[in-house]
């Protein structure tokens, strides 16, 4: 027992790492984001680079398509330093446009097509794009935005399944011959904690993470990656798209996650790498429960979770189904994103976010004083290294607010670091619940709730009441299951100290989430 009424943390049963080869290329092979495509076009020109079910391109064809797209963008008036907004779902068209922007040193501004009209208009007003591209063949949402904003047919874009809208000349940003300074992508945060901010990520930021994350996964040209994480999100852009191309592997660009289709691809398409967010994993586990049998994945050798905290119950369920580790990691949009990851050949048995990526620094600091804390103490996670953003676009005050005098990025996340260098994320500073003077970290409570066999997804928030805070739990049941509150309370009582137990339970058919699977806790707090 660790505290009164609380049991020791659960460990997953030991699972050996899946067999893997060596990465094709070492870290540091490339400097610019588009370089890997040109390299592999010369080494393995006929090998498939990216496909989306509608169109498939070899590395030589992808390289040529990127050249053609860059030429066409230039003909439409795009210059180096201009912003190109790409309203997309994962697709060949999205990948080609992103890489073409990188090649001509324009700034790609990828936006998820599922954003609302208001959100897309606000971001476009803020970044001032010269051109807007819509991958309208990939989804009805992208098609809606293309129609709404008057996008035109264009032969070069149409071949890939996209349309384009040319705007008034914008203000080109300064251009640098140094990839450390030259912005490659402007990623707008999801806005779950406030108004969206434009995060400026340089070529060096993204290549740094692409190289190191791909080597950590031992990615090689024989791998086939299930690319369902949105390219409009930094995880899908840097780790999935750019990491896959860095090592000459194949990417299956998947517009939207559907559990049935993902299960089919894992069973039939020879997928070796599957990266997702916890909500995706939970749906696969639920599907297996409904079918009454594990989902087959005969060639899968690496799976990971990111984008949100991973609870131990979900990790155990996934590992039991496929007999290999579910790896975990930690990162943020502002850190391109990967800060830590669990080693491929030394998987963690608990909910650790893993160890530092090569050449990354982290310190755990007192949120008030900024002083570094000893191993084991909970404080703010601060990050320094080549992965840290250039800054927030057109917002120097916000940039200054999140950077320390000695160059660390203040994440706003709470965590602790062990003496062995393992990072554990325990929550966000703003999500910390203080109940009767005790600190309650939502991920800890959520891990217990999701460990219940009838709970698919949980989210815990605090609600102020009479000078105190109560713990409110929102629950999404496994399809076909009914939650019994009395039984659930008994389950929780045997696993959590009294001050950590939820006062109220709210059952919802589906918890609100962003397109990347991040739960919208701000919305839940409004209805708590």
Q: Which of 402, 428, 454 is the last residue of a domain?
A: 428
Same domain, 102 and 191: yes
Counting the structural domains of the chain, the total is: 3
Same domain, 156 and 93: yes
In a domain, 242, yes or no: no
Same domain, 411 and 437: no
Mean pLDDT of 364-387: 96
Same domain, 453 and 422: no
Task: Provide the domain limits for residue 45.
Answer: 35-204
Provide the CATH number for the domain around residue 176: 3.40.50.980
Q: Which pLDDT band holds residue 518 (cuts at 50, 70, 90)?
A: confident
**Mean pLDDT over the full length of the chain:** 92
Same domain, 455 and 498: yes
Provide the CATH number for the domain around residue 452: 3.30.300.30
**Which spans in 128-202 are helix H?**
140-148, 155-158
Whole-angstrom Cα distance, residue 213 to residue 221? 15
Q: Which pLDDT band holds residue 193 (cuts at 50, 70, 90)?
A: very low
Choose the weakest-confidence range: 5-14, 384-393, 499-508: 5-14
In a domain, 248, yes or no: no
Whole-angstrom Cα distance, residue 14 to residue 298? 20
In a domain, 24, yes or no: no
Q: Is 229 exposed, middle or buried (0-12, 13-18, 19+ CB in 10 A)?
A: buried
Same domain, 127 and 177: yes
Interval 92-129: pLDDT, tens: 999 999 999 999 999 999 999 988 888 899 899 999 99
Mean pLDDT of 368-376: 94
Interval 215-236: pLDDT, tens: 999 999 999 999 999 999 999 9
In a domain, 11, yes or no: no
Same domain, 474 and 391: no
Farthest CA pair distance, the chain: 69
Provide the CATH number for the domain around residue 266: 3.40.50.12780
Phi and psi angles of residue 51, each rounded to the nearest 5 degrees, phi first: -145, 160
Same domain, 96 and 172: yes
Same domain, 417 and 495: no
Total-model pTM: 0.86
**Which spans in 323-377 are helix H?**
none
Q: Which of 204, 232, 249 is the last residue of a domain?
A: 204
Mean pLDDT of 248-276: 97
Q: Which pLDDT band holds residue 191 (cuts at 50, 70, 90)?
A: very low
In a domain, 210, yes or no: no
Same domain, 424 and 437: no
In a domain, 355, yes or no: yes
In a domain, 470, yes or no: yes
Same domain, 198 and 290: no
Same domain, 388 and 481: no
Mean pLDDT of 355-381: 96
Whole-angstrom Cα distance, residue 409 to residue 382? 5
Beta bridge partners of 455: 477
pLDDT at 434: 79
Residue 337: cis peptide before it, omega within 30 degrees of 0: yes
CA distances from 303 to 235, 274, 278 (A): 14, 5, 12
Q: Which pLDDT band holds residue 437 (cuts at 50, 70, 90)?
A: low
Assess contact for 147 and 162: CB atoms under 8 A: no
Q: Which of 382, 402, 428 is the last residue of a domain?
A: 428
pLDDT at 85: 98
In a domain, 14, yes or no: no
């Amino acid at each position: 027992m660790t505290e009164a009424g609380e049991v020791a943390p659960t460990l997953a049963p030991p699972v050996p790492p899946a067999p893997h080869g060596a990465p094709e290329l070492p870290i540091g092979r490339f400097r610019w984001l588009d370089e890997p495509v040109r390299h592999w076009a010369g080494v393995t020109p006929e090998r498939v680079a990216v496909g989306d079910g509608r169109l498939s391109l070899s590395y030589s064809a992808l390289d040529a398509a990127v050249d053609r797209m860059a030429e066409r963008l230039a003909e439409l008036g795009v210059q180096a330093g201009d912003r190109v907004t790409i309203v997309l779902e994962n697709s060949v068209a999205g990948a080609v446009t992103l890489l073409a922007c990188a090649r001509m040193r324009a700034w790609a501004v990828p936006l998820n097509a599922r954003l609302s009209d208001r959100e897309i208009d606000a971001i476009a007003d803020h970044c001032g794009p010269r051109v807007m591209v819509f991958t309208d063949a990939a989804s009805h949402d992208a098609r809606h935005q293309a129609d709404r904003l008057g996008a035109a047919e264009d032969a070069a874009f149409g071949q890939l399944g996209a349309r384009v809208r040319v705007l008034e000349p914008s203000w080109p940003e300064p251009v640098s011959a140094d990839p450390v300074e030259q912005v490659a992508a402007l990623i707008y945060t999801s806005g779950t904690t406030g108004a969206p901010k434009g995060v400026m990520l340089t070529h060096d930021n993204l290549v740094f993470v692409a190289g190191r994350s791909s080597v950590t996964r031992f990615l090689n040209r024989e791998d086939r990656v299930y690319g369902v994480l949105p390219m409009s999100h930094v995880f899908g852009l840097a780790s999935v798209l750019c990491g896959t191309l860095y090592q000459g592997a194949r990417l299956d660009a998947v517009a939207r996650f559907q559990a049935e289709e993902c299960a089919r691809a894992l069973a039939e398409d020879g997928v070796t790498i599957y990266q997702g967010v916890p909500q995706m994993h939970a749906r696969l586990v639920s599907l297996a429960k409904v079918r009454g049998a594990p989902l087959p994945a005969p060639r899968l050798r690496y799976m990971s979770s990111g984008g949100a905290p991973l609870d131990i119950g979900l990790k155990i369920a996934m590992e039991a189904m496929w007999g290999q580790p579910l790896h975990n990691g930690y990162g943020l949009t502002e850190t391109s994103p990967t800060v830590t990851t669990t080693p491929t050949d030394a998987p963690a048995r608990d909910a650790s976010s893993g160890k530092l990526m090569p050449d990354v620094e982290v310190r755990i600091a007192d949120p008030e004083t900024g002083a570094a804390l000893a191993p084991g103490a909970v404080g703010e996670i601060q990050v320094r290294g080549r992965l840290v953003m250039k800054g927030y676009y057109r917002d120097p005050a916000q940039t200054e607010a999140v950077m320390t005098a000695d160059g660390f990025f203040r994440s706003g996340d709470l965590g602790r670091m062990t003496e062995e260098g393992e990072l554990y994320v325990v929550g966000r500073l703003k999500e910390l619940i203080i109940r009767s003077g005790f600190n309650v970290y939502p991920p800890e409570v959520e891990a217990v709730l999701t460990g219940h066999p009838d709970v698919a997804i949980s989210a815990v928030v605090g609600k102020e009441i009479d000078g105190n805070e109560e713990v409110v739990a929102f629950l999404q049941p496994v399809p076909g299951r009914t939650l019994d509150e009395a039984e659930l309370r008994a389950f929780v009582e045997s696993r959590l100290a009294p001050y950590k137990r939820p006062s109220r339970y709210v059952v919802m058919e589906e918890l609100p989430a962003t397109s990347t699977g991040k739960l919208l806790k701000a919305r839940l707090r409004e209805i708590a």
